[in-house]
Chain A
């Protein structure tokens, strides 16, 4: 997992950017969310350590509450297999998987440290694991922290963009014969500064900020975090067990409890020291069971059921109501192969019942309490086929039908969105969104050439999106544009392509391209906030062992992101930013210190300190993206059998 090692210290979404078709949506330099094929937030599921991550993921400025140091593997799931994870994975599923417990006796571990030049980031993660001599009981403890000061764009610092993160996890496992059980607990705690220059009052303020070439207030190199900021805690406990049933297969059972607490501190007049303006508290419990059955006449697969209960509270300013969510799902996914042909199919049924509690007019104290209820239930299905051709070629194609119930914010949000001068209005009459996805691809694997080309066409009916307003809502604070959640029929399609060619034993050249198109099928206009086309090329050199330095590699990446010119000027406050080209450099080696392999790497992001803005950053109106960043990473293993523990 060398690729993952080179992302340590970055956020989950940044680490995922190396996967073809994955991009990010940002709110300033520290709040980053993954985008799969143009979709994000409510349409992307994240499974953290086998549990469906339930935070307030509807918000584009609510980053996933996941510690990337936990991951030994990051996987993006599309196609039939995604049926196992839930219906609303319209965009896809991201699996953040910790290393499997190691039941070999002894105590071992590693310390990973990262330093970054741009924002003075320091990250440290320590993992210790071991097992009892009999090998029945295994355990792992992991602690990590990330601390950063203000981010620097070419020329100046962005005030109040530092963050602090403290995370930890512990696992205990027991295994004997056909039975295995595991208890996992993790905690994620983060304080995230929000760029002060993005704190604006109304549309006039926003337009004035857009006009300014640079923010009025600049920061300096400081770790201090002031208002506005977010304070987030996410705590998870998961108990899982599996048992090998004779003749039937492996039966898995999993229960999880997670609690998400999000507090938002605005820059306001009545800013008393520790008082938040808005707090959400979401508790989710889930019970899943599935059977990984023995091959049945050539069929391999899984069948299972899952149930979930969720309760949300808020305090302070109204944005979304109290709600209780109950859902129940059942799925089956099967795979069959003979000779060169492989077929797969999956089906899933989900039912969800939601009750909200709110005042009829949320901003009026005397308004009566109402409890609207919503029930949804639909079928998800996928079919796929793959055919293996000679010389390492492989063809694949599939179709999937999916759906997603409207999310709480889409139904109920009502209020001013800070930093964007917009008044967001939900709609309680929204219906389920449904998707029909066709995809196909070619992959090639051979000694010298490897690569893949994928295309997809996603037809969405009742696609829910926040339509930018053109009419102003007049308030005593001035004018705000009214943004409304609406449903349209849309089509999202695109391609991801990547090819690698081994020019010589020591040199590999890689090129990749990804593009998404998203149209409102009713008006023919392109949708807002869709990533622009990206083309990348990389050269990777592997160098011979030199003076005890092994595994030497050097790679240079050039990345060109086009301008999103498909969005018309009247669809935004400012025209989409210009195209940009960035260069990144990675160098890694492994040295032997006191008989232990110590991994060392140096990365330089934005090598030429290019000034650019990205269309998918909500703060593109106020400031450019961060400048050059040099990252130094060091991983030191300790304890018994270090060689084994350094390779996940």
Chain B
């Protein structure tokens, strides 16, 4: 709590209160509104399933529980096998508060014609190709195929674009709903 007092005012403040100025007799006890961060995404998890051996599953999460500002997000590193083909899925998109956890994936799927996941590998010998499409036949990106080559390291940037009425299959239109860069190691 912070108090900023300048001397003459501190003498006047009680007088002001005592005056019971204009309608101050009405009790103000409206409860504070529930915390609502619109379409905030606090966590996003990527799932890599080895197409040759479906028991080989790798998960990586990006988590920022205190929302925008405050502490920076915690991002898991991704470790993949060299020369392997993985099925890549965004398997959870959550809006978590300290008390609730809401999965917003169904909503994004329902509004697939307004959304596009974009994958941008840099440095690492990794290629990602979107494999699913929305009802208009444009790429969606909740599902993709990730193919690794020889060992190396770099990063994978995942961007969810929100493109209301403007989606054309490219990243350009719309605004960003999330944008995270995972470190990638391929061995």
Interface residues, chain A, CB within 8 Å of chain B? 199-202, 204-205, 208, 216-217, 266-270, 277, 285-287, 307-309, 311, 313-318, 322, 324, 326-328, 351-353, 357-359, 361-366, 369-370, 372-378, 406, 414-416, 423, 425, 428-432, 473-480, 482
Query: Which of B23-31, B137-145, B148-156 makes up part of the contact surface?
Result: B23-31
Please tell me if the beta carbons of B16 and A351 are within 8 angstroms of each other in the complex. Answer: yes
The one of A313, A363, A414 that contacts B35, using a Cβ cutoff of 8 Å: A363
The one of B12, B39, B69, B166 that contacts A414, using a Cβ cutoff of 8 Å: B69
Taking CB atoms, residues of chain B closer than 8 Å to A378 are: 6, 8-9
Please tell me if the beta carbons of A267 and B164 are within 8 angstroms of each other in the complex. Answer: yes
Taking CB atoms, residues of chain A closer than 8 Å to B108 are: 269
Taking CB atoms and an 8 Å cut-off, the chain B residues in 17-73 that contact chain A are 17, 19, 21-24, 28, 30, 32-39, 41-44, 62, 64, 66-70, 72-73
> Can you add 12 more A-B contacts, CB < 8 Å, to A269-B111, A370-B1, A477-B176?
A199-B175, A269-B39, A277-B38, A326-B16, A326-B21, A363-B35, A363-B66, A364-B66, A365-B98, A374-B3, A414-B69, A477-B177
- Report, nearest first, the 10 A-B pairs whose CB atoms are least far apart: A201-B176, A377-B9, A478-B179, A201-B175, A428-B2, A309-B22, A351-B12, A375-B13, A475-B68, A375-B9
How far apart are the CA atoms of A328 and B28 in the complex, in Å? Answer: 20
Please tell me if the beta carbons of A364 and B179 are within 8 angstroms of each other in the complex. Answer: no
Please tell me if the beta carbons of A315 and B33 are within 8 angstroms of each other in the complex. Answer: yes
Please tell me if the beta carbons of B13 and A311 are within 8 angstroms of each other in the complex. Answer: no
Taking CB atoms, residues of chain B closer than 8 Å to A270 are: 38-39, 107
Please tell me if the beta carbons of B9 and A473 are within 8 angstroms of each other in the complex. Answer: no
Smallest CB separation, B152 vs chain A (Å):
25
Q: List 24 A-B contacts (CB under 8 A).
A: A200-B176, A201-B176, A216-B172, A266-B38, A269-B39, A269-B114, A270-B38, A286-B22, A307-B19, A351-B8, A353-B17, A357-B28, A361-B70, A363-B70, A364-B66, A364-B98, A365-B34, A365-B35, A365-B97, A375-B6, A377-B13, A378-B6, A415-B69, A432-B4
How far apart are the CA atoms of A313 and B26 in the complex, in Å? Answer: 15
Do A376 and B98 form a contact, CB below 8 Å, given A268-B38, A269-B107, A309-B24?
Answer: no
The one of B3, B22, B39 that contacts A307, using a Cβ cutoff of 8 Å: B22
Smallest CB separation, A239 vs chain B (Å):
14
Smallest CB separation, A204 vs chain B (Å):
7
How far apart are the CA atoms of A476 and B69 in the complex, in Å? Answer: 10
Taking CB atoms, residues of chain B closer than 8 Å to A269 are: 39, 104, 107-108, 111, 114, 162, 177
Please tell me if the beta carbons of B178 and A328 are within 8 angstroms of each other in the complex. Answer: no
Smallest CB separation, B109 vs chain A (Å):
11
Taking CB atoms, residues of chain B closer than 8 Å to A482 are: 69
How far apart are the CA atoms of A373 and B176 in the complex, in Å? Answer: 38
Taking CB atoms, residues of chain A closer than 8 Å to B173 are: 216-217
Please tell me if the beta carbons of A377 and B12 are within 8 angstroms of each other in the complex. Answer: yes
Taking CB atoms, residues of chain A closer than 8 Å to B68 are: 415-416, 423, 473, 475, 477, 480
How far apart are the CA atoms of A316 and B39 in the complex, in Å? Answer: 12
Smallest CB separation, A378 vs chain B (Å):
7
How far apart are the CA atoms of A286 and B22 in the complex, in Å? Answer: 8
Among B9, B41, B97, max chain A CB count under 10 A is at B9
Taking CB atoms and an 8 Å cut-off, the chain B residues in 100-115 that contact chain A are 104, 107-108, 111, 114
How far apart are the CA atoms of A414 and B69 in the complex, in Å? Answer: 9
Taking CB atoms, residues of chain B closer than 8 Å to A307 are: 19, 21-22
Do A309 and B21 form a contact, CB below 8 Å, given A269-B162, A366-B99, A474-B73?
Answer: yes
Taking CB atoms, residues of chain B closer than 8 Å to A430 are: 4
Smallest CB separation, A181 vs chain B (Å):
20
How far apart are the CA atoms of A502 and B2 in the complex, in Å? Answer: 60
Taking CB atoms, residues of chain B closer than 8 Å to A326 are: 16-17, 21, 24
The one of B35, B73, B98, B175 that contacts A205, using a Cβ cutoff of 8 Å: B175
Smallest CB separation, A478 vs chain B (Å):
3
Please tell me if the beta carbons of A377 and B8 are within 8 angstroms of each other in the complex. Answer: yes
Taking CB atoms, residues of chain A closer than 8 Å to B32 are: 322, 357-359, 369
Main SS of chain A's interface residues?
strand
Taking CB atoms, residues of chain A closer than 8 Å to B131 are: none
Q: Tell whether B10 is near chain A: CB-to-CB under 8 Å.
A: yes
How far apart are the CA atoms of A369 and B33 in the complex, in Å? Answer: 11
Q: Tell whether B180 is near chain A: CB-to-CB under 8 Å.
A: yes
How far apart are the CA atoms of A89 and B166 in the complex, in Å? Answer: 45
Taking CB atoms, residues of chain A closer than 8 Å to B34 are: 365
Please tell me if the beta carbons of B4 and A374 are within 8 angstroms of each other in the complex. Answer: yes
Smallest CB separation, A556 vs chain B (Å):
42
- Looking across the interface, which residue of chain A has its beta carbon closest to that of B164? A267
Please tell me if the beta carbons of A285 and B23 are within 8 angstroms of each other in the complex. Answer: yes
Taking CB atoms, residues of chain B closer than 8 Å to A377 are: 6, 8-9, 12-13
- Looking across the interface, which residue of chain B has its beta carbon closest to that of A427? B2
Please tell me if the beta carbons of A309 and B23 are within 8 angstroms of each other in the complex. Answer: yes
How far apart are the CA atoms of A474 and B72 in the complex, in Å? Answer: 6
Please tell me if the beta carbons of B67 and A475 are within 8 angstroms of each other in the complex. Answer: yes
Please tell me if the beta carbons of B73 and A476 are within 8 angstroms of each other in the complex. Answer: yes
- Looking across the interface, which residue of chain B has its beta carbon closest to that of A360? B1
Please tell me if the beta carbons of A328 and B107 are within 8 angstroms of each other in the complex. Answer: no
The one of B21, B43, B164 that contacts A328, using a Cβ cutoff of 8 Å: B21
Please tell me if the beta carbons of A322 and B30 are within 8 angstroms of each other in the complex. Answer: yes
Taking CB atoms, residues of chain A closer than 8 Å to B179 are: 201-202, 204, 476-479
Do A202 and B176 form a contact, CB below 8 Å, given A326-B21, A423-B68?
Answer: yes
Do A287 and B22 form a contact, CB below 8 Å, given A270-B107, A375-B10?
Answer: yes
Please tell me if the beta carbons of B13 and A216 are within 8 angstroms of each other in the complex. Answer: no
Taking CB atoms, residues of chain B closer than 8 Å to A357 are: 28, 32
Smallest CB separation, B17 vs chain A (Å):
7
Smallest CB separation, B104 vs chain A (Å):
7
Smallest CB separation, A400 vs chain B (Å):
19
How far apart are the CA atoms of A353 and B22 in the complex, in Å? Answer: 14
Smallest CB separation, A405 vs chain B (Å):
9
How far apart are the CA atoms of A314 and B33 in the complex, in Å? Answer: 7
- Looking across the interface, which residue of chain B has its beta carbon closest to that of A371? B1
How far apart are the CA atoms of A203 and B37 in the complex, in Å? Answer: 19
How far apart are the CA atoms of A428 and B3 in the complex, in Å? Answer: 8
How far apart are the CA atoms of A423 and B67 in the complex, in Å? Answer: 12
Taking CB atoms, residues of chain B closer than 8 Å to A316 are: 33, 36, 38
How far apart are the CA atoms of A375 and B68 in the complex, in Å? Answer: 31
Among B22, B23, B34, B114, max chain A CB count under 10 A is at B22
Smallest CB separation, A420 vs chain B (Å):
13
